[in-house]
Amino acid sequence: MRIQILSDNKKLHNILENEHGLCIYIETDNYKCLLDTGASDKFLQNADSLEVDITAIDYVFISHGHSDHIGGLNDFLRINTKAKIVLSKNALTQGFFSNRNGFKNISSKIDIHNIEDRFVFVDSETVFENEIHVFPCQVCCNPLPIANKTLLKKTDNEMIADDFNHELIVCFGCNEMIVYSGCAHCGILNILDSVKQIIGKPISIVLGGFHLLDGYEGQYETEFEINKLGDDLKLQYPNTKFYTGHCTGENVFQLLKNKLKNKLIQFYTGYTILVKTK
């Protein structure tokens, strides 16, 4: 399996474009897919530079409805005419907003007219290619990211706190799982516990953001809380590697790195992972 970051907040080379968004390319002998599409068409520019053929993509898995993960989908649909788009229907039927650093709309209007047959809406565990499992988070006993408090959604003309009923988990593998967390709005421990509950197989790699932001004291997670999370991940998933970026803050990353050591790696646009799947 080849995993390549096509869009992230950071970049590897000046020939690549970065943005506040996330798009990841995955290729195996059996399929090619995207995990999210970033915030714009920059993932397309980076795909050209990295020699990734977007027209050959078989699946796009959308982790949730925020524009930094689904914003490039219309651009993708103009280029690729065959891929199935897998997401929660709630990602398209609700509006999304953020009041962090000023109130803003973080929705994306996706035109599915005449291509409805390409969209697969998931509300419970669904399996693709006999080894790709997609499902909503099932566990909520661990803390949610504090930064969730800045996120809202609009449904039936009512603005309420975002409950992330549009967030999906995507897992790859037969014997050991590669887990895509998206932004982990449901909490990274809740996501991993959901994988254990539904699939019940070892997790070799976790890929995606943790939605743990740097901020002033008392604004987001405290150093104690981040260290506690690092201890929990180390204890509960001693054989798992965590690749993160996008919505994982720099200070947060360093605190977790102190706990997880070489089990935690920071990715960026252009970063490539080669995995021997089991």
Q: What percent of the chain has pLDDT over 90?
A: 95
Residue 192 has pLDDT above 80, yes or no: yes
Q: In this structure, are residues 154 and 119 in contact, taking their beta carbons and an 8 Å threshold?
A: no
Q: What percent of the chain has pLDDT over 70?
A: 99
Note the pTM of the prediction, 2 decimals: 0.97
CA angle 99, 104, 110 (to 5 degrees): 130
Name the CA dihedral angle for 165, 151, 210, 170, rounded to a multiple of 10 degrees.
20
- Sign of the Cα torsion 143, 25, 21, 109 reads negative
pLDDT of residue 166: 98
Give dist(CA 244, CA 140) in Å, integer. 21
pLDDT of residue 157: 87
Domains of the chain: 2-270 (3.60.15.10)
| Residue recorded with tokens 């689904």 | 70
What does the pLDDT look like over 107-157, one tens digit per residue?
Answer: 999 989 999 999 999 999 999 999 999 999 999 999 999 999 999 999 988
What does the pLDDT look like over 152-187, one tens digit per residue?
Answer: 999 988 999 999 999 999 999 999 999 999 999 999
Q: Which two tokens stand for residue 245?
A: 């970026």
What are the backbone angles phi and psi of residue 148, rounded to the nearest 5°? -60, -25
